[in-house]
Amino acid sequence: MGSSGILLIVGLAAVAVLYAWYAAIVARRNKVQEALSSVDVHLNQRHDLIPNIVQLAGRFMEHERSLLTDVTRLREEARSTPATTGEAGKRFAIEGELSQRVGQLLGRLEAYPELKSDRPLLEAQQTWAETEAQITAARRFYNAAVNQLNNAVQIFPGPLIAGLAGVKSMPLFEAPEAARTAPSVDAILGRKP
């Protein structure tokens, strides 16, 4: 076998390796999109619960109007921000703030004895807790898929191939900064320290 035969074999092997890497990056991008879609489904379930919680709580919490208004505004903002790979970071930030504000709302419900026994509100809170658990599981799946994609895109020759495939690194779905510290009971209940 001459030098041209060896070069041909080496060239074919290089093309096969590059194609395999390209296919792996595209498959990982698709897995991230699948995971993002799963997160979006659960976030939409949460969005569907919010009007019920706000309506039920609003009957008793007249002086909490600003909190109820914030929750409604954030819900609409989250629903209008697309769950696409390009907007994921922005959407996750809005969702984090929304989750925090609804958590405050649910915490403040403790100050209203008539709400503690309101069956529809108790059912809504239970459904909320179940939905949050589903979001947590979907977020773990998304973050695992993003980690695999980001590794494939960032490890050589990934950056070259990812550029050809139009694939970029994706953000992780992280807890907002405010959620990383223990909440103040006074802040949740709307009391001044």
Read off the pLDDT of each residue in 83-103 and give the average, rounded to a whole number. Answer: 87
Rounded distance between C-alpha atoms, residue 171 and residue 69, angstroms: 29
Cβ-based neighbour number of residue 169 at 10 Å: 15
State pLDDT tens for residues 39-77.
Answer: 999 999 999 999 988 888 887 777 788 899 999 999 999
* Torsion sign across C-alpha atoms 148, 151, 154, 160: negative
**First CA to last CA across the chain, in angstroms?**
84
Mean pLDDT of 107-119: 78
pLDDT at 1 over 50: yes
Residue that wins the pLDDT comparison between 190 and 21: 21
Nearest in space to 83 (alpha carbons), one of 45, 39, 141, 139: 39
Which tens digit of pLDDT belongs to each residue from 148-187?
999 999 998 899 999 988 999 999 988 666 555 555 555 5
CA distance 115 to 110: 8
pLDDT at residue number 152: 94
- Global pTM reads 0.79
